[in-house]
Amino acid sequence: MNRRWMAVLLAVSLTVVLAACGGGGSGEGSAGGTQASGAKSQGGAADNDKDKIVIRYWYAFGDKIEEAKQELVRRFNESQDRIEVIAEHQGNYDDLHAKVQAAFAAGNAPAVTDLEIASTGMFARSGMLLELTPYAERDAEALKLDDFNPGLMGNAYVDAKLYGLPFMRSTPIMYKNVTMLKEAGLDPEGPRNWEELEQYARVLKEKGKYAMTVPVDIWFYEALVFQSGGRILSEDGKKALFNSPEGVEPVAFWKRLAEEGLIKIPVGDDAGAAADKDWANQISALRFASTAGVSAAIEIAEGNGFEMSTSFMPANRDYGVPTGGCQLVITSKLTDEEKEAAWEFIKFMTTTESTIYQHKHVGYLPTRLSALETDELKAHFAEYPQYKVAVDQLAYANPRPMENAYPEIVMLIKNAIEKAILNPKVSPQEAMDEAAAKADKLLAK
């Protein structure tokens, strides 16, 4: 989450609350379908068919991710003749979330939108989302909710109510330059834990290389905290726990390795891009990144002449990762007819067939257990084992915090980690204690 997104959130939150209190959350009112009925449709055959229910779907990201989403929308539109979905690109998650909030306040929100999982709590508790529990219970036999991978369902619920269906979901995994590891005399099956990671880093340093270039990314930090047996926030969401020993240990580990020149920790807006570039250019042998990048990483490795593989993120006391990506949600200011149309759409987008397609096209996790049993995916994993690692790692997955204040707390954590690593006079404990005190004030509001 960035500061621009937070600014938009603060600007529209009062308007959203007033709109919800005024009855908009009850389900009646102006909807995306009515507003979009004259727009050019995606993949449809009858734009001017007045009998069709027309709804808008807003999504994030371009390139192969956009290709997959547009293709699935085309398939849905061609699969039936009652509903027309218009798919509209809205930038990254921050851009998309801000635009959805502003459109909701103006009474013109899309019917369906991607929603990054950690933001589900704030959107749901603000009255912007339709609760899906009644729909899932009504269509239980066809939906097969228990077919969704349990490791991906933690952020689908808010206060024990269902608000989203897992769509393009991910976890961080470790990408490895197998060629670099072999040339350094290192076992390409590792490093399996933090201790081995440090050992590998010392060997690679002697070769003039880095083990890893890792940005201060909240997703990666959450993983290291889970691996250490800790939590970011208390279970009730009222207290910061990232300044506990389990939360400070990852920061101290990163700081020590960076000070010894064993890993690189870039900062700033281009930190993630710098890490990707170092791995692609064989400056660093390892990197943490989303499973959504497997397809691109295979192409990079082939283009740059090295062998690559993927594995679990190295364990500390145990393995552990957060999940990420988005789920599909339905906004609340819709007519009953539009709600049913939106529900039919998100059911289609999350079928076994749909999740197999998007997984193979992009690399996002196959969200349904049934997909893993198909001959198509079994053959795919046999040919490209790099894709299966994230699926297996879901056994150690944890949901991300969904408190309303978490986007702002993320910035506090990130700034604290960077401060501890960049300033030799600041200890990891001091930096995290300072951030935790500020986080507790936000959580108390």
The string of pLDDT tens digits covering residues 112-169 is 999 999 999 999 999 999 999 999 999 999 999 999 999 899 899 999 999 999 999 9
Does the structure show a pLDDT above 60 at 12? no
Q: Tell me the C-alpha distance between 105 and 14, whole Å.
A: 9
Alpha-carbon Rg for the chain in angstroms: 22
Q: In the predicted model, what is the mean pLDDT of residues 250-267?
A: 97
Would you place residue 33 in the very low, low, confident or very high pLDDT band (cuts 50, 70, 90)? very low
**What distance in Å separates the CA atoms of residue 393 and residue 386, rounded to the nearest whole number?**
12
pLDDT at 139: 98
The contacts found for 48-51 with CB under 8 angstroms, 24 or more apart, are 49/81, 49/84, 51/82
- 10 Å CB burial of residue 308 (0-12, 13-18, 19+) is buried
> What is the model's pLDDT at position 49?
59
Name the average pLDDT for the chain: 89
**Mean per-residue pLDDT, 280-296:** 94
Contact 58, 35 (CB under 8 A): no
CB atoms within 10 A of CB 393: 25
For residue 340, name the pLDDT band (cuts at 50, 70, 90). Answer: very high
Average confidence (pLDDT) over 248-266: 97
| Strand order across the beta sheet in which 172-177 lies | 263-264, 210-213, 284-290, 172-177, 308-311
pLDDT band at 445 (very low <50, low <70, confident <90, very high): confident
Q: What are 25's two structure tokens?
A: 């959350």
Q: Model pTM?
A: 0.82
Write down the pLDDT at residue 362: 87
Q: Average of pLDDT values for 266-274?
A: 92
pLDDT score of 64: 87
d(CA 302, CA 312): 22
CA distance 404 to 120: 9
What is the per-residue pLDDT for 15?
A: 33
Write the pLDDT tens digit of every residue in 166-181: 999 999 999 999 999 9
Span of 75-84, 304-313, 396-405 with lowest mean pLDDT = 396-405
Q: What is the pLDDT of residue 151?
A: 87
- pLDDT, one tens digit per residue, over 405-427 is 998 999 999 999 999 999 999 99
pLDDT above 90: residue 199: yes
Q: Scanning the structure block, which residue is given the tokens 């959580």?
A: 443
Question: What pLDDT is recorded for position 89?
Answer: 97
Domains of the chain from N-terminus onward: 3-170+325-395 (3.40.190.10), 172-322+405-443 (3.40.190.10)
Q: Which pLDDT band holds residue 363 (cuts at 50, 70, 90)?
A: confident
* Mean pLDDT, rounded, for 295-301: 92
What pLDDT sits at residue 38? 32
Cβ distance 387 to 294 under 8 Å? yes
Taking residues 204-211, what's their average pLDDT? 97
CA distance 400 to 409: 13
Pairing of β 53-59 and β 112-116: parallel
